[in-house]
Structure 1
Amino acid sequence: MSWLYRYEAKGIQPYILATERLREMMGASALVESLERSLREALGDGGTIRMAAAGNATVRFEEESKLREFAEHWPMLLSRKLPGLQIVQAWAPIKGSESEALKEVLARLESDRNRPWAELPEAGPLVARSARTGRPAVKRGKKDSEGLLDAATRAKAKVAGDGAADLLAAKLAIGNRDLVTDMEDFGEGYVAVVHADGNGVGKRILSDVSKRDGDGQWRFSTALTEATRQAAIAAIDELDVRTEKGKPLPLRPLVLGGDDFTVILPARHAIAFTEHFLSKFEEQTLAATDALGGGFKACAGIALVKPGFPFHAAYDLAEAL
């Protein structure tokens, strides 16, 4: 009997934005962007990816033993590569159609999502903690100002400090040096946390995409991500025209996958940038009607905050708008 498996990360954006330091956000973003590659390496030839986006994926397994082996090891692998990122996972047998199995998997995920998450191993009273996060410390920062670092902060800072390729910048056809890397680069005044996503994507996946064969599901997944990418590129190109020559592009993309796009930029550019993205997203999805089964509209929230404001709270506000 075949099985359908799905995992979802709980709070990709809060994971990335759980710091006031832009370089750590960059590192977290790079870690999240590498998830699909890690998934493919972990799967090998054990399963077939149906759909994948930022922080979630649906996989079909033909053998229950391979499914259970993967489900046992995948959370442990992620806890090493992305410490602090919570995930939920569920699976169900494909008794009839994949569509029915997916509905069952999503229901199980929703139930699992409400369970409290335990951070293991639990730190005892004698364990030193990071002053910035309150979590158990694993290393002292290279600079005195960094203090003690917890595992998640260390992983994010290490990726950013190692000069790893800026995967999102590469996706968006912009060089790493062309983007801001510190909050000071945004200049004085407020900054905007912008979050956009497509309308009705989940409903179409259940009603149409889940009934397609594996190739059709993968075409939908890649076409949706490409439409989002092209819309983001168009909005960034328009912002570049209004940026003074010789200065870094006042922008830091954080999440780009599926129909999700999250970015930080100066508040003065936020409305025009977002309007341009939403318009281009609709245009790009209409151009990919064959793969998507029709076009999509998108909505977005903009939170204007001071650079010292907790960015995870700013994202929560933008996402709720």
Structure 2
Amino acid sequence: MLHCYLFEAKAIQSYLFASGKLRDIISASERLDRLIDSTEDCALYKVLENASLESDLIDPEKPESHTLIRFLRCKGGAFYACCNSREPLVTLRSLWTLTIQQLFPSLEFTDALSQGDDLPQALKEGHQLLAANRNTPDVKFPVGKAILARDPRTGKPGVPMSDMAKRASKDEGYCDLDTEHHRQAYQLWDMRGSAALQDNFTPNDLKGRVHYPIDFDHDFNFQNDNTDSSREAIKDMALIHIDGNGLGIILRQLNQVLADKTPEAYRKAFRHFSDALGKATVIAAQRATQFV
């Protein structure tokens, strides 16, 4: 019997644009980029280490053991993990969902714990459970009461801003908890001058020479085409992201091609695809930056 744990973050686009402030979008993107990856800097690795869970997150060629957690996918806000034993995955699920709720209180996500006679069967059941979980609403904390200060930008329950968060913004008073975390990270990670995600997407020959804007009001020369001079110029931002539906089709096609392969070949193929997708994203962003 093989066990699987599947996790997927949902509605990332709306989460990133919740406050409408460019620095919050930058910080949220940076924080989400450090959430799930195959490096020692990501939150997933920290959870595994602190829980003393054995995994192949860093080393896909790690020798097999009964309690070893193997990852088929670990990029882009989602991961699929499998293990011969159920207990390590239960521990991972408990600590991981707790971590998500602390780091990203209002981020929507789905997860599922499944089992099957082989890896394809366990994954199939897991995807069915994920689909069912998408229709189950979750309680978000802090819970909004009848009399409560709310963030004027997001409408979510407000919390007092920490001194660190205030340094990253001119706003004072209240903001929602996610925005408070974003602004703390913005200040602590010194994103005003640089950010790891931006640096990763910058071609090597342009590093240190490219300036990434952080303020809609001062870094962009918006043209006001309105006849009413009292109205502000229209400020639009484009979001480039991978086609989730198209990616799902590719994954289903990959699943069909691997249907008659060994469990090891099946697992390695999905892991290679996950790693290749991450590398392709970086290369595409670097080429786009070079072109612009």
Shared fold (TM-score, shorter chain, > 0.5)? yes
Distance apart, 1:220 and its partner CA: 1.3
Match for residue 180 of structure 2?
A: 154
Summarize the alignment of residues 200-239 of structure 1 with structure 2, pairs less than 5 Å apart. Answer: 200-208=249-257, 212-239=265-292
Distance apart, 1:126 and its partner CA: 4.0
For 1:116 and 1:109, how far apart are their aligned partners in 2? 13
Q: Cα RMSD between the aligned structures?
A: 2.3
Distance apart, 1:80 and its partner CA: 1.0
Match for residue 40 of structure 1?
A: 45
Contact 1:102-1:206 within 8 A present in 2 as well: no
User: Structure 2 length as normaliser, TM-score?
Assistant: 0.73
Q: Is 1:68 matched up with 2:101? A: no
Contact 1:75-1:87 within 8 A present in 2 as well: no
Distance apart, 1:144 and its partner CA: 6.0
CA shift digits 1:247-291 (9 cap, x unpaired): xxxxxxxxxxxxxxxxxxxxxxxxxxxxxxxxxxxxxxxxxxxxx
Contact 1:2-1:60 within 8 A present in 2 as well: yes
Summarize the alignment of residues 283-302 of structure 1 with structure 2, pairs less than 5 Å apart. Answer: none
For 2:69 and 2:239, how far apart are their aligned partners in 1? 35
Q: Is 1:168 matched up with 2:197? A: yes
Identity of counterpart residues, as a percentage?
24
Match for residue 127 of structure 2?
A: 106
Gaps spanning 5+ residues in structure 2: where? 37-41, 55-67, 224-234
**Cα 1:104–1:236, aligned 2, differ >3 Å: closer, same or farther?**
same
For the pair shown, the structure with the greater C-alpha radius of gyration is 2
- Determine helix, strand or coil for the equivalent of 1:88: strand
Gaps spanning 5+ residues in structure 1: where? 240-321
2:221 counterpart letter in structure 1:
G
**Cα 1:2–1:233, aligned 2, differ >3 Å: closer, same or farther?**
same
Contact 1:209-1:220 within 8 A present in 2 as well: no
1:183 counterpart letter in structure 2:
F
- Determine helix, strand or coil for the equivalent of 1:223: helix
Distance apart, 1:196 and its partner CA: 4.0
Summarize the alignment of residues 243-258 of structure 1 with structure 2, pairs less than 5 Å apart. Answer: none
Distance apart, 1:192 and its partner CA: 4.2
Distance apart, 1:121 and its partner CA: 4.6
Q: Judging by fraction of residues, say which structure has more helix.
A: 1
2:198 counterpart letter in structure 1:
A
Distance apart, 1:52 and its partner CA: 1.6
For 1:90 and 1:155, how far apart are their aligned partners in 2? 27
Q: Judging by fraction of residues, say which structure has more strand.
A: 1
**Cα 1:145–1:196, aligned 2, differ >3 Å: closer, same or farther?**
closer
Count of residue pairs the alignment pairs up: 238
Q: Is 1:193 matched up with 2:215? A: no
User: Structure 1 length as normaliser, TM-score?
Assistant: 0.67
